[in-house]
A and B are shown apart, each in its own frame.
Chain A
Amino acid sequence: MLDITKRFPGVVANDRVSLSVRKGEIHALLGENGAGKTTLMNVLYGLYRPDAGQIAIHGRPVEISGPRAAIDLGIGMVHQHFMLVPVLSVAENVILGLHGQASLLDLAATSRRLSKLAAQTGLSVDPAAKVWQLPVGVQQRVEILKFLFRGADILILDEPTAVLTPDETARFFAVLRQLQTRGVTIVLITHKLKEVMAISDRVTVMRGGRQVTTLDTKGTTPARLAQLMVGRDVLLEVAKRPAMAERRPVLAMHDLHARNERGLMALRGVSLTVHSGEILGLAGVSGNGQEELADVLAGVRSIEAGALHLHGQARPWTHPRAVLAQGVVQVPADRLADGAVADFTIAENAVLPTHNRRPFSRRGILNWPRIREFGRRLIEEYDIRGARPDSMAGWLSGGNLQKLILARQITLDPDVLVAVQPTRGLDVGATEFVHRKLIETRDAGKAILLISTDLDEILSLSDRIAVIYEGRINGELLPPFDLDRLGLLLAGDEA
């Protein structure tokens, strides 16, 4: 791929990018969210037409007019969000689009060939199973098989490990190596340094829509790659001053009980106090009641028993708007489901909690200049990249979307900020940004409850750690944190 340029309205996603992949190698395409990796690969797969540049396969210049042309050239692409039809069977998904529209389906023969291919490659799967019944790891195998079945010898994998557990990832890498021995060339899109080092032969780094460099993996280090990726030295430790000496209790939870979706008691007596000027980290293995507690604090889940106190007074906690109004604000775990409306513009998302107030509206009439102006302000102050007030929030990369949500919630000037998994799925640069903002907010005297399953995050940010286990607070730790004791608490041992 030579000098590929791809523009979207208002953004240059790829700026004269060149990428050369050798036959039979595993080539990592490394970069932060929004660096243009996926766009580049969508160009290669024919989903986007490049505005400029050339593509050559096996030395021959080619014109890739669409996915069909890419498939005919032996290219297959496994997207981050799988391109499988859930209600169809594995065999049906594989055979889709394979022959002419007029042909009859021969599912039996397809299934036989598929099973054989699966056995050869170690990607075992039941051809008759409906895709929605399969775990994501198996769905991923179906995606790969789909292209091997078509005789693809170049596979593009977009963030393939994002949906896998560490154990599954290890097995997945073994499969990739096996494919490599069969002569398959693999392009791996990722932002995880560990994966680059573990699996790739060479690595191309992208930043801000441009290609930075291409290196042999053996001749480089994770630190060097990180630097190239973000364009500056990454702070490995979060720089922060000790918490303020003078702290007042702001939000107090007393013996909270709440049920989960299935009607089972998920919170069984949570008592916690968050003080002004501190970050209280709530650690725990996922599924121990964190989601339910976050819902309760947002006012979207009712409590069965217990009480919530704010500034020492018991408050009703039944309506999200009332909760917001009393200064308790959340950065939710699921950014697209709970944090923002994908089909709204950035400006509209920026005023979601405040659109009914001055200056954004007066007597029910929205004041658009003010709303856009506010959107623009957040974009500037929080460095939301590739965005204008009128662009759709759904177009933002994960990190930039999180910046938008964080910007909006902090600008509400809350007394309590509840941050749930605030850096999940974010790259190094965005993670660092979010962490810095959380500490700034703490230093401004706010009370912060950080609910996270990422222990590194909890340890580097928290002034105090509480551990949740099976819906109860299992213990609290003060710095310097005792890692052994933390481990015991996480595992459920009473301390």
Chain B
Amino acid sequence: MDQMLTLTFMTAMLAAAFRFATPILLAALGEIFTERSGILNLGIEGVMLGGAFVGFYVMYVSGNMWLTFLAAIFAGLCMGGVLGFFYITLRANQVVVGILFSLMMVGLTSFLYRLLFHETMLGKQERLTQLPIPGLSQIPFLGEILFTQSPLTYLALLLAPVAHFLLYRTEFGLSVRAVGEHPRAADTLGVSVTRLRYLSVLIGCGAAAVGGVFFSLHFGQFLDEMLLGRGYIAVAIVIFGQWRPGRALLGAIIFGLVDAFALRLQALSITVPFQFLLMLPYVLTILALLISVRFRGDVGSPSGPHALMAPYER
């Protein structure tokens, strides 16, 4: 147990916490917009997986990091368009469509993987490298935790305040919130409910796809089961965060911390069966959800924006 208390151990664990928080935070920030507009996107798990796959493939073929990101975002927007068509235009049941989409993506990505690579497992590919920020990364302790991360982690951390600004300080954010709470009121003021919901679903799916890329680039490989339900965790983080970017950031970091902690404990050969350690982040998520219901944010009901999951018809 002594090993746990050393500074090196703590620093490494905290750095890992931010790393693990990255994809969840990206997906959660996007999902905040989607849900604020009144759409529950449980297809987010599938979108992340799709983003991970497309990212992996483009990286494999081109070796270009920028191209990889752009391709993943494009794939995310395409998947968002499909999901949006079901959610908004067809007014389908959002839970059913979302879950089925996520299940379908598991099959689709592993099928395409075999089709494109003709093997079941490729060796490890080029990975996302850390990009220490000059100067800041030299700060003792903090430098290693916060400023020696991959570009995606910086992006995710920066996007939290950006999302907050967008949601609370722009006409777009106000319209998204209004559409999710009382779509008819927005409609009677000439705000297009359909357009805003599509935009919000696209934002959510684009962000989720980038979150997905993090997985394939971080591990340098693609596996259809590599997400381990992180997309659903992102949805849970949104609820824990009461649909606010700041609190979602906090939730993602807590989740990352427990994830990192569970992983370290395994390495320390403690006598607890490792399965229990693997469960830890998920158990924590459930507990966090139970507690968070007690807080009341600026949304219309304890279960979210008032018109969440309610298709709009004039």
Contact = CB atoms under 8 A, between A and B. Distances in A.
B141 to A, nearest CB: 38
A92 B176 CA distance: 12
B171 A105 contact: yes
B190 A101 contact: no
B264 to A, nearest CB: 42
Contact of B172 (A79, A84, A92, A102): A102
Interface stretch (A64-72, A165-173, A398-406, A451-459): A64-72
A182 to B, nearest CB: 22
Interface residues of B, number: 26
Given A45-B188, A67-B190, A95 B171 contact: yes
A83 B181 contact: no
A100 B181 CA distance: 20
Contacts of B65: none
B72 interface: no
Interface string B208-245: 00000000000000000000000000000000000000
Contacts of A85: 177-178, 181-182, 185-186
B296 to A, nearest CB: 10
Contact of B171 (A47, A71, A104): A104
Interface residues of A, number: 30
A101 B169 CA distance: 11
Interface in A359-400: none
B300 A87 contact: yes
Main secondary structure of the interface of A (DSSP, over half): loop
Given A71-B190, A77-B188, A101 B172 contact: yes
Given A83-B182, A85-B177, A87-B298, A103 B188 contact: no
A88 interface: yes
Interface string A72-84: 0000010100111
Contacts of A98: 171, 189
Given A79-B188, A83-B188, A96 B175 contact: yes
B170 interface: yes
A84 B182 contact: yes
B278 interface: no
B144 interface: no
A287 interface: no
B186 A96 contact: yes
A246 B306 CA distance: 55
A67 B186 CA distance: 10
A86 interface: yes
A86 B175 contact: no
A47 B188 contact: yes
A99 interface: yes
Interface in B133-178: 168-175, 177-178
B191 interface: yes
Contacts of A69: 190
B314 A47 contact: yes
A105 B182 contact: no
A77 to B, nearest CB: 7
Nearest to A94: B189
A88 B181 contact: yes
Contacts of A88: 174, 177-178, 181
Nearest to B172: A101
A101 B172 CA distance: 5
A67 B171 contact: no
> Which of A67, A96, A99, A100 gathers the greatest number of chain B CB atoms within 10 Å?
A96
Interface string A88-118: 1000110111111111110000000000000
A81 to B, nearest CB: 9
A100 B186 CA distance: 14
Given A67-B190, A84-B182, A86-B300, A103 B177 contact: no
Interface of A: 45, 47, 66-69, 71, 77, 79, 82-88, 92-93, 95-105, 146
The 4 closest A-B pairs by CB, nearest first: A68-B190, A97-B189, A83-B185, A97-B191
Interface of B: 168-175, 177-178, 181-182, 184-191, 196, 298-300, 306, 314
Given A85-B186, A97-B178, 13 more contacts: A68-B189, A68-B190, A71-B190, A85-B182, A87-B177, A87-B298, A88-B174, A96-B175, A96-B191, A101-B172, A101-B175, A101-B196, A102-B172
22 contacts: A47-B188, A47-B314, A66-B190, A82-B185, A83-B185, A85-B182, A86-B182, A86-B300, A87-B298, A88-B174, A92-B174, A96-B178, A96-B191, A97-B189, A97-B191, A99-B171, A101-B170, A101-B171, A103-B171, A105-B170, A105-B174, A146-B189
